[in-house]
Structures are given as structure tokens and as C-alpha cells.
């Protein structure tokens, strides 16, 4: 004889079914989020000072980038988006070039209409300040711009981003990118993105 379930039993079964559906939807969402991060562009950025004065010598234009402070941006998924930026300030430091590397990497990602990226850099202190672990004692304005994207507000600013420290740079950073531009040219090329960043920062303050 078939047993008829009472109201309490029916309610309990309904709750179990509902919980199972919620677990499935959360699991699917978690898998999709992880998949998006795995498949998104990976940018490796690095600030370099160039060789010491006594090591400098006349070289052709392709290698000239190594004779002054510069920023290297490498899109590990697409080398056509690799970029080297020759900095205009000869008084840059090892710290300032790394901060610029991260900021210019963000601007370059926006310029190339990337919506989600993983960014990697070897400087532990700069990465921690950029991620809000430490407060900036210098370069505050640049860090304020960077933190528009390294915080939970990043999605509304048009670019989801994870910034991580790495121990070693990839082999691609040892060579010059095909696209090499002066810092002033970079500003002109990415003028729209830079102005948008300034506006977003004003709205945050």
C-alpha cells in the first residue's frame, strides 16, 4: 500500500530540492568565474632603469630602449599587444618605474578593450601597495588610479583585474617589443583612457 506523505514531509522534501538547486547554481557560478579568470589575458609588466652610465654605448634604434628608464608590457596571450614605453624622466627610480609599469599596463589594457586581466609584477612592495595591503608613502596619485581596479570597485570601472607578484619574469621581457614608443606618444595614443581615469578618480573623491 502506497504511503501518503504528510504536509511536514512534503515541506521537508521541497526544502531539500530547493537547497540542491541553490547549491548547483552556486557551483556553476563558481566554475564560470574560475573559467573566466583562467581564460582572460595575462599581462606581465616591468619597469626597468636601463644600464649604468659606464655601460652605455651607441646602439641602433631597436635597442635604444635599454639606454634609458622604460616600461615593458607583455601580453602573454597575444604578443601583438606587447609594448615598450621609453620614459621621459631620466630621474626615475626603481620604485617609480615599477609603479608606472602597473598603471600603464592598466591603461594599455583599457585601450585594447580588455575587460578582465591577470597582471603580474616582481616588485613585492609595489604590488602590496597597489592591492591596498600597505598605504602609499609616495606616488599616491598613481596608486589611487591603480586602486580603481585592484579593489572591489573594479567591475564598475570597466576592467576586472587581479594583480599578483611573481618571482621570475618570462623570457619575453628580455627582448624588445616590436612596438616601442616614447612616453609622450603613449599619452597621446591613450588620451581617451587617461582622461576617463581622471574622471573616475574625481567621482570617487
Q: Where are the chain's structural domains?
A: 1-39, 41-204
Mean pLDDT of the chain: 83
> Residues of the chain with pLDDT > 70: what percent?
77
**61 has pLDDT over 50:** no
Mean pLDDT along residues 26-34: 61
Q: If 0-12 CB within 10 Å is exposed, 13-18 middle and 19+ buried, where does residue 169 land?
A: middle
Task: Identify the pLDDT of residue 132.
Answer: 92
Report the Cα 127 to chain-centroid distance in Å.
10
User: Which helix H or strand E contains 195, and what residues bound it?
Assistant: helix 191-204
| Closest listed residue to residue 98, CA positions, set 129, 61, 67 | 129
Lowest-confidence region among 5-9, 22-26, 177-181, 195-199: 22-26
C-alpha cell at 191: 588620451
List all residues 6 or more positions away from 205 whose beta carbon is below 8 Å from its beta carbon: none
Span 100-159, pLDDT tens digits: 999 999 999 999 999 899 999 999 999 999 999 999 999 999 999 999 998 766 557 778
- Please, are residues 92 and 70 in contact by the beta-carbon 8 Å criterion? no
- Please, are residues 93 and 192 in contact by the beta-carbon 8 Å criterion? no
pLDDT band at 204 (very low <50, low <70, confident <90, very high): confident
Q: What is the dihedral of CA 96, 97, 100, 104, to 10 degrees?
A: 180
- Of 34 and 72, the structure prediction assigns the larger pLDDT to 72
- Of 157 and 99, the structure prediction assigns the larger pLDDT to 99
> Which CATH topology does 41-204 take?
Nucleotidyltransferase; domain 5 (3.30.420)
Q: If 0-12 CB within 10 Å is exposed, 13-18 middle and 19+ buried, where does residue 77 land?
A: middle
pLDDT band at 186 (very low <50, low <70, confident <90, very high): very high
Task: Identify the pLDDT of residue 63.
Answer: 45
Q: How far apart are CA 75 and CA 115, in angstroms?
A: 14
Amino acid at each position: 500500500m502506497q504511503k501518503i506523505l504528510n504536509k511536514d514531509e512534503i515541506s521537508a522534501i521541497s526544502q531539500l530540492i530547493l537547497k540542491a538547486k541553490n547549491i548547483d547554481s552556486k557551483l556553476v557560478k563558481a566554475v564560470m568565474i574560475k573559467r573566466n579568470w583562467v581564460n582572460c589575458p595575462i599581462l606581465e609588466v616591468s619597469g626597468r632603469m636601463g644600464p649604468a652610465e659606464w655601460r652605455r654605448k651607441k646602439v641602433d634604434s631597436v635597442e635604444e630602449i635599454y639606454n634609458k628608464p622604460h616600461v615593458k608590457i607583455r601580453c602573454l596571450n597575444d604578443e601583438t599587444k606587447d609594448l615598450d614605453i621609453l620614459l621621459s624622466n631620466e630621474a626615475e627610480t626603481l620604485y617609480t618605474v615599477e609603479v608606472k609599469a602597473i598603471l600603464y599596463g592598466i591603461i594599455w589594457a583599457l585601450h585594447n578593450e580588455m575587460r578582465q586581466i591577470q597582471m603580474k609584477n616582481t616588485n613585492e612592495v609595489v604590488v602590496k601597495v597597489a592591492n591596498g595591503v600597505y598605504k602609499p608613502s609616495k606616488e599616491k596619485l598613481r596608486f589611487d588610479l591603480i586602486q580603481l581596479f585592484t579593489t572591489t570597485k573594479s567591475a564598475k570601472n570597466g576592467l576586472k583585474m587581479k594583480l599578483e607578484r611573481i618571482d621570475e619574469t618570462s623570457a619575453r621581457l628580455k627582448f624588445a617589443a616590436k612596438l616601442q614608443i616614447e612616453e609622450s606618444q603613449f599619452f597621446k595614443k591613450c588620451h581617451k583612457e587617461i582622461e576617463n581615469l581622471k574622471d573616475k578618480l574625481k567621482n570617487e573623491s
